[in-house]
Structure 1
Amino acid sequence: MNCAEKYQLSSSSQNVKVQSWQTSDKGIEVDFVSKFTNNFDRVTLPWMWLRDHCQCSECFTSSAQREYDVFIGWEKFRWEEVVVDTDTAGLIIQWQDNHKSYFSYDWLWGMLNLENSVAVDERKYWSDDLPSLDYRSVIDTDIGLRHLVEHLTKVGVCKVIGAKASKAEAAQLMHRIAYLRQSSLGNIIEIKPSINSDYDETHLHTDGAFNYDPPGIKLVQCLDQSTSPWEMIFVDGLALVDRIKSEAPQTLSLLQNNPVSYQYLRQDINLIASDPIVTLDSYDRLKRIRYNPKAQLPVAEQDLLNKQALQAALKQFEAWVEDQSQQRKLSLNSGEMVLWDNWRVLHGGSAMNGNHYLAMCTANMEDFHSRLRVIQNQSYQRPVPQAREKKGV
């Protein structure tokens, strides 16, 4: 074992490039570069972690359950050789107990930064036109489904045309990407004028601010209409938060570090949740926006000393949300649908009249991310070039 040897290479996989790596007594030091952001990360992968995460069929079942406890007898698990597999862009580790482990660069990158495994790096700002797909294409073809999931991942919004004005078709479309989420109002909700204030004119918000786990994906379908289409308004929270980072970092700090409470109250329902308006991940990227001023509760007593600064930050956030340069409008004719990432995108609608009639359903973000991983074939199982020879065979 040469613990000082360093290997220079430019080996690429689908999502990440490895510029160099070297071994040491502690583990393998790898220089990763993301293909989407060009961000550089130098990471040390400990030997124990690598042995513990070998994905071969002798170490894990097909349902990703461990077959053994690496902590029992760890002292016998020592590495002997590390080889680059240039054909598959990965590392092969030969262990002293004659076991071989294979790790693709994509898998290592995803495990070290799980947000990347759901393509956070692929998100992009909006252009003038939001994407649109045909309903039958999404329902009947895998490529149509892939396009819908990719649009929701990268852009956060996608319109779907060509469907009948039917709640059943809305449910069928949502089933293509995730399970329908059950709420206190059911899993398919009908929205009519003067019943649901969420769809009052220009009321921009995210859904489920009063839920511990707000809906991840939302679908709205226009079932009927007046003489003109119903118009929705969207704001890209990704661009909004990046703007606040640049123009008012102190405001972002207040929005990120101070919980705001929201309530949904009916005769037999009383939902309350508290969280900051803006949640960032460990890499300082937007994870979720939770915002609904109409459902907001007063600032808690323990936060009164900070109330003035927080109220100023909330007022500034509202001004940014209402800035028309941040907004995109999208019209829905009868049967047409729009889906969006409720953790990223704020939405509202034009005033509904007596002929407007909508259907709505939602899905959990974890179920959408599950579908995304399956579509991208980001399985935790990885092939091993050569299985360990069993004793006595």
Structure 2
Amino acid sequence: MFSSLARCSSRAALHMLKEAVCPSKLGKVPSFGHQTLAAIPAHTVGRNAIRHAQMLEQKRLLQVEWDDGSCSFYPFTWLRDNCHCPLCMLQSAQARSLLLADLNVHTGMNQVQITDNNKVSITWPDEHSSEFEPDWLKKRCFSPEARQARQEELFLNKREFWDSALQIPMADFEEVLNDDNAALAWLMALRRVGIVYLKGAPAEQGQLARLGRRIGYLRLTFYGHTWQVQDKPMANNVAYTSGKLSLHTDYPALHHPPGVQFLHCLQQAEQGGESEVVDGFHMAELLRKEDPEAFNTLSSLYIDYTDTGSDYCDFSVQSKNRIIDVDSEGRVMRVNYNNATRDSVLDLPIDQVQLFYSSLKSFVKLMNRPENMVTYRMEPGDLVTFDNWRLLHGRRHYASGGRTLRHLEGAYLDWDEVMSRLRILRKAVHRDR
């Protein structure tokens, strides 16, 4: 797969990366009450104008009518809680300094007017006053459409599912380090697709630390800030052997597994060692469709994981995780599966044990279907970045010894740091507010 991609110029590779992250259109969302505001894309900042604002005292709502004819409604209490004045907000940190103990959650409103510069000005019963920018208000409209658009803008929850036909997005390592547009395209693709291949890194240790600093910092675990994937005597991890690694996510033995993983190829084995990946979110949705009982089992039962040994320091970790983590709406948020560290302790009623094994077997069979798996071979200088909450990755057996000894350097980050850098880069590149 990568033989042709590796010949692409960095400009062409960046174009491929940008194509991989074209956002899909938001699905249609039913309107709520009289709110008619459609989804607000980020590029509308600075173009909003207020036609009229009025108090709806019985409902304790402020109604704002926009120049495009749409309306938004804002609860009195929420407006008072979010006053921007220096008494209520620490301006240097953009953090609320108004204490909840001092907030009247049943507050009324004395007066509302539109200022000459099109701000909403409110006078409260205690004579305190607040002003709100139209752009700030419109992006925080309570309509379902606006709320969905804002959450998508903040968290980029939409994913592009894939199978064996995936052409993994590529970028140039040095461009990502030095160009904000390239770095933003990389992180957008990492979020949407779940995996991005970087070419052109020097085939020497320390490059993951450089890439980590581009985001913020690497996550320290019991295996260190970075770790060396090699065939080692008395290995303290199955990854440090030359045997086949089945598809897995890293570190479900932690209650909060690392969100992102970097792997940098320093040396490749003469034979074998190809990498394998599947889209775990896609697999979970296929399981939900093909075997609903198995999906419900793996998304409801908490399974024990363990990891014991000594590396950066000695450790004895235990966790309980669902193999398929879903949110309150049933959306898959994380996959936690590593057969090597799945504990022999199985904290389940005995009549659920067989159901668990059958359900897990169904999930693993889905992962291993050839039509769902992407296989690639890393060469020295290649660097792969992927979503460890989403992708399951594995490795084929390789021949240990010979002229070259397979050596990869690995590192982890958390999604909080990655998304933070993505938002900062997006603001710098697009001048978003």
TM-score when normalising by structure 1: 0.79
> What is the letter of the counterpart of residue 329 of structure 1?
T
Select 1:144's aligned residue among 144, 167, 182. Answer: 182
Displacement after TM superposition at 1:51 (Å): 2.2
- Give 1:118 deviation, angstroms: 4.2
Shift of residue 348 of structure 1?
A: 0.8
Corresponding residue of 1:387: none
* 1:222 pairs with 2:222: no
For residues 290-305 of structure 1, the aligned pairs below 5 Å read 290-305=336-351
Alignment partner of 2:279 out of 236, 246, 259: 236
The answer to whether structure 1 residue 175 and structure 2 residue 216 are counterparts is no
Q: Which residue of 2 aligns with 1:68?
A: 98
Match of 1:280 among 296, 311, 326: 326
Structure number with the higher strand fraction is 1
Contact 1:29 1:44 in 2 (8 A): yes
User: Post-superposition shift, 1:316?
Assistant: 1.0
The alignment status of 1:100 with 2:100, answered yes or no, reads no
Choose the corresponding residue for 2:78, options 45, 49, 52.
Answer: 49
Write out aligned runs for 1:1-393 (5 A): 6=34, 8=36, 10=38, 12-14=40-42, 25-27=59-61, 46-55=75-84, 57-61=86-90, 62-69=92-99, 71-72=101-102, 74=104, 78=109, 80-81=111-112, 92=120, 94-96=122-124, 97-102=128-133, 103-107=136-140, 116=152, 118-126=154-162, 128-193=166-231, 195=235, 196-198=237-239, 200-227=243-270, 230-266=273-309, 268-353=314-399, 354=401, 355-377=405-427
Distance 1:243 1:263 in 2: 28
d(CA) in 2 for partners of 1:158, 1:150 = 10
Deviations 1:204-250 (A, max 9, x none): 10001101210111000110123468421111112112212222222
Q: Name the CA shift for 1:92/1:237 in 2 (closer, same or farther; >3 Å).
A: farther
Deviation at 1:147, TM superposition (A): 1.2
Q: Distance in 1 between matches of 2:323 and 2:224?
A: 26
8 A contact 2:40–2:139 mirrored in 1: no
1:321, 1:29 → 2: CA distance? Answer: 51
* Maintained 8 Å contact 2:250/2:258: yes
Give 2:391's aligned amino acid: V
CA deviation after TM superposition for structure 1 residue 112, in Å: 5.8
Query: Is the 8 Å Cα contact of residues 226 and 411 (structure 2) preserved in structure 1?
Result: yes
- CA distance 1:302–1:357, change in 2 (3 Å): closer
Answer with 140-149 or 321-330: which moved more.
321-330
Contact 1:13 1:105 in 2 (8 A): no
1:245-296 CA-partner distances (Å, limit 9, x unpaired): 2222222111111001111122642111111111112332221111001111
Write the letter of the residue equivalent to 1:52. D
* C-alpha distance in 2 between matches for 1:56 and 1:112: 25
Q: Is the partner of 2:212 in helix, strand or coil?
A: helix
Paired AA for residue 326 in structure 2: L
Letter aligned with residue 63 of structure 1 = A
Pairs aligned (count): 360
Do 1:233 and 1:330's aligned partners in 2 also have CA atoms closer than 8 Å? yes
Q: Secondary structure at the match of 1:374?
A: helix
Cα distance in structure 1, aligned partners of 2:271 and 2:137? 53
- Judge conservation of contact 1:265–1:271 (CA < 8 Å) in 2: yes
In structure 2, the CA distance between the partners of 1:250 and 1:93, relative to structure 1 (3 Å rule), is farther
Identity %: 23
What secondary structure sits across from 1:300 in the alignment? Answer: coil
- Give ranges in structure 1 of 5+ residues lacking alignment: 31-42, 384-393
Distance 1:7 1:93, change over 3 A: farther
Q: SS in structure 1 opposite 2:371?
A: helix
Q: 1:82, 1:201 → 2: CA distance? A: 69
